[in-house]
Structure 1
């Protein structure tokens, strides 16, 4: 044997020290390969809408209701199925409500337990006992396993299950069992969750979404530009910090910073009142509260203006430091004429809606004033020392990436930058040009360096790349010619607001583009797909989320309430199970309270369904390929044992 192969087999022998143990593992893996593949759930662009996200997670984009239909068919009415679904989504809350009106709770408990047992049997049937056992709550694992496992040796199965259920009722544990079995159904219906970017911004509670993911059983994240922005803030990039605070003020989400992450904004508030105390700051009203002029709204506007001006300065300083970002056209503070209220952008003069800029000096317009500098130093310390934010960013780093190849699908948030002729665009990253997959790989390397690099210069490069990924014209997470923040705030002329999309979005309608991108990432064939987020699909305008004959699926339908009028829906989600793919469009989610009290689920409509020629098995997945490799290695180990090249360590 070659030395490397022998070393590996010796390592494997530590795990499987006998022929018997290696053989048992082969049999176990081979049996798993023939089970149906687990259900994958794809969600994109959640944008802080925790309630809608939580509900979609609970109902598995309709997967739970489908299991109820599979089990009970026409034996339960539509109303009974809705009630059962709501109970599974919100068991504790629904039980509390039922108690108010149900005269015979013991009978209700008994019927409900039997129904949940049947659903549990169905959803657990595609998994090994070992995997189901790991999903069971420790306190009730043995009893639940008894209830959902078929026992051929028991002659009177009805009496056997009846005795267990009766005992559960007698000892007063029916509620606990209903809750844990409902949660088990939620857990087993979805095997793996994919989030295709943008957990943060606009909505009020991205921190709750990340808290939820901290305990979720299996998931990955493809970072969106809004996630990267918050990661940059946590890493200490002051331009990212200023932008995060501005967006929270723009959408009225100061509670997220102050209560969610404990960021003290009093220094910013005091500075804003001192500098802009007489300024109405009309251009800086909170979105949706433009007409309000109470003291609280005025303070928010002044804070909003203060941090926005700071952001513009910090961005310009960063761009002057990095000519390789090729964004000199965004350095226009020096062309700002405070007296005449104009600014020159790309050679054209525009009139400003606001002329009051007391902290912008003629000598060095992009330098922070002393007060602005002090504020940013305090905020940088607060973001870097926020334990909760740092914990969330560690989760994003551990479970996240810029792209992922998973079960023959390519997942990413934004775009693959393309030239106007459709070829891969070459992007300058610190003096070297990259394109396609190599661009993604080098950018991800620098993202991680922002947090772990020992050399200060490399860490600083990583932090600056985090900002570039947020809004750079050649950033694969942004994909537009510019982020027209300055123009939208301060220039009325809509021409200045235009953000030209990367050629990717035009060429994505051509199947050859999708095939070329997939090939660059090592994928080919009819079963390969691109699953993409980032740009909302305008269903109300007739736009389709399915591109290139089904090769590309765009699943950003606008979870964020800010998008609902624009898109006509409230998000797409994708389910990929052993039978194929189902793309679903969701109507806006009212509230958890409405879902519980009125037994209303999210109204959903299947947009596209693609069935496979045969049912997909674990053996057809990436995990299945790894298992096949392990089986081959174990067979080699057994051969080495039998030919005397290695000796068994125990009998």
Structure 2
């Protein structure tokens, strides 16, 4: 930036105003120069490791274990340091200690005869592993990650160099003193958690944290405390977000799914939501109905008594009928959703227990509808209205749920562009020819497609949760949030319809079919991927699309890698409900400075087995892409920001030296 004395353009004045603000942070030539040197050095560090997961579906134990082991990243670091000197069992023991330090130390204390010697050896090993994990970061970044209690000590030990032989006694004395004053346990725990923190620079969750599994609230609590994370909303996440906003249809659907999988504990114990009113209503309304078609699926080793199963079945049916009524109200008030084919309660012949669909009559499995008025089937009766009001109040006043959903809003989005990767959960609605489908949103009838459709949806979902003054805007946002769960052009759902009613009430599987959007037939096309990259402003030659949502049937030969490596589907079956279909227990993706690694995982037995038997998840790693030259920070999105900062600082230096701004 070279100023001349007659510079008086508005552009110059704006730049000068900005530089004056910047000068408050860097008030001297020396401070600005130091920062330039620092940023320039950071640009040449290896890029941090990114970790991609999707479709966790409440499987908190598997999720936490994969997070703790960094999809095998910690064991790789141990092998890089000690692969030639430690046995496989010793490597396994050290890895288990790093994953579960508190629990493993309890066992060690009972087993080790010379605990002080074990402490000494282990601390030295942890220091070496932490040094390996930290080498790609600046000292400042590592310092910020250090546990406050041991920050000074860890920093001293981690930065011990080979040339510091004369200080060996100094370092040895530090470790000896830690053991002597009985702080070794706490120090090992701190070191282990530091290593977990350092092996992953950023976590990406490509949707579907909630439903099916027993611990979605635990997964969310873990994520909210994670050092760097982003979330691309999935259809199951958006459902809970709508429920937290107060959408009655979303609330009913959330409860129905939890009842279907005997997972009501997530609602009651996890989020403190009172569902006793539902139990009371169900027992009274369906006292003489066994609700056989609504018997819960027991997929998570859940043990229920026969009486509990009967109660859950009644609750399941009661909330399902309420859900169908509430959905009908939305469909009727939003005709542009084009979901009239989902209005089914008015198609039932309540006298003979049949339903007519597409000109064909089907006998219903369950013919007992005590709460439905055939003349006005979508109207809630007084008891149902009272019940849904109570449930809505519980959802709105669940402090923990609201905290987690606010985190989903602050750290989440419909899609993310990050380091040449495009992340979204499901699909981009397209026509049969691969062109982006135009979808009408709002009463104005304006259509959106591709990126603009995603952007508009996100704005409206946020309005549905955050809008307070404009009640109509809030209601529309909530209705659209429900639509994203189940609508025919929802990029989070990706099917023409959700056949929930048919699966409960009609035995003919022909009625259960849900037709996928053409996107899923075209996702193996490099041409389509190129069109998507261009739509989102990414380089087609260097970019990837990363999806979840549809489980990859590995045991049937399906590959998660599509379009010659341009698109990667990482839903491999974290949820136990899908593992019989996929044949594995999930995919995770690692993107480090050397390239892209796809990791497939075998089922996780339990945390207890992992600790006591030192049994890690067996994972298979496949190298998808290997960089010819190691990627540096300068090659990343963060690097691009740093380059702009350097240019701004160079302009500030020029302004100081030209006399336009005075040093402070």
Contact kept in structure 1, 2:534 and 2:540, CA below 8 Å: no
Per-residue deviation, 1:291? 12
Cα distance in 1, alignment partners of residues 622 and 503 from structure 2: 34
Q: Distance in 1 between matches of 2:218 and 2:368?
A: 38
1:390-469 equivalence runs, <5 A: 390-430=402-442, 431-453=445-467, 454-469=469-484
SS, match of residue 111 in structure 2: coil
Q: Out of 627, 631, 637, which is 2:642 matched to? A: 627
Q: Distance in 2 between matches of 1:302 and 1:116?
A: 54
The residue aligned with 1:27 is 37
What whole-Å deviation, never above 9, does each CA across 1:433-482 have from its counterpart, x for those lacking one?
10000000000000111122231111111111110000101000000011
CA distance in structure 2 between the partners assigned to 1:291 and 1:445 by the alignment: 42
**Structure 1: how far apart are the matches of 2:199 and 2:237?**
27
**C-alpha distance in 1, partners of 2:408/2:358?**
37
Give the aligned partner of residue 233 of structure 1: 243
Deviations 1:24-81, CA, capped at 9 Å, x for gaps = 1101101100000000000000000000000000000000000000001221000100
* 2:658 is the alignment partner of 1:643: yes
Greater CA drift, 254-263 or 437-446 = 254-263
Instruction: Using the TM superposition, give the Cα deviation of residue 519 of structure 1 relative to its aligned residue in structure 2, in angstroms.
Output: 1.0
Once residues 494 and 464 of structure 1 are traced to their aligned partners in structure 2, the CA distance between those partners, rounded to angstroms, is: 29
Report the equivalent of 1:191: 201
Structure 1 segments unaligned to the other structure (5+ residues): none
- Please point out which of 292, 313, 328 is paired with 2:325: 313
SS of the residue 2:455 aligns to: helix
Q: Where does residue 336 of structure 1 map in the other structure? A: 348
Question: Is residue 96–residue 610 contact of structure 2 (8 Å, CA) maintained in 1?
Answer: yes
Which SS does the other structure have where 1:99 is aligned? helix
Alpha carbons of structure 1 residues 33 and 291: separation in structure 2 relative to 1, 3 Å:
closer
CA RMSD, Structure 1 to Structure 2 (Å):
1.4
Q: Call closer, same or farther: CA 1:260–1:293 in 2, change over 3 Å.
A: closer
CA contact (8 A) 1:329 1:345 kept: no
Q: Please give the secondary structure, in 2, of the residue aligned with 1:161.
A: helix
Deviation, 1:269, is 0.9
Aligned to 1:473: 488
Aligned length: 649
1:75-100 deviations in whole A, cap 9, x for unaligned? 10001000010000001111101111
Distance 2:162 2:297 in 1: 63
Counterpart residue number, 1:600:
615
The CA distance in 1 between the partners of 2:138 and 2:390, in whole Å, is 53
CA contact (8 A) 1:411 1:532 kept: yes
Cα shift at 1:428: 1.0
Partner in structure 2 of residue 79 of structure 1: 89
User: 1:124: Cα distance to partner?
Assistant: 0.9
Aligned partner (choices 352, 377, 398) of residue 389 of structure 2: 377
- Scaled by the length of structure 1, the TM-score of the pair is 0.98
Q: 2:175 aligns with which of 136, 141, 165?
A: 165
Matched, 1:212 2:222: yes
SS of 2:110's partner is: coil
Q: Which moved more, 1:161-170 or 1:243-252?
A: 161-170
Aligned position for 2:571:
556
TM value normalised by structure 2: 0.96
Question: Which residue of structure 1 lines up, in the alignment, with residue 633 of structure 2?
Answer: 618
1:120-131 paired onto structure 2 within 5 Å: 120-131=130-141
Pair 1:138 & 2:148 matched:
yes
What secondary structure does 1:404 align onto?
A: strand
Match of 1:521 among 536, 539, 556: 536
* 1:345 Cα deviation from its structure 2 partner: 2.4
Looking at structure 2, the residues matched to 496 and 647 of structure 1 have their Cα atoms a distance apart, in angstroms, of 76
Compute the displacement of 1:153 (Å). Answer: 7.3
Cα distance, 1:128 vs. partner? 0.5
Q: Comparing 456-465 with 387-396, which one deviates more in the overlay?
A: 456-465
1:182 correspondence with 2:192: yes
- Residue by residue, what CA displacement relative to the aligned partner does 1:400-442 show, whole Å, maximum 9, x if unpaired? 0000000010000010001011111111111211000000000
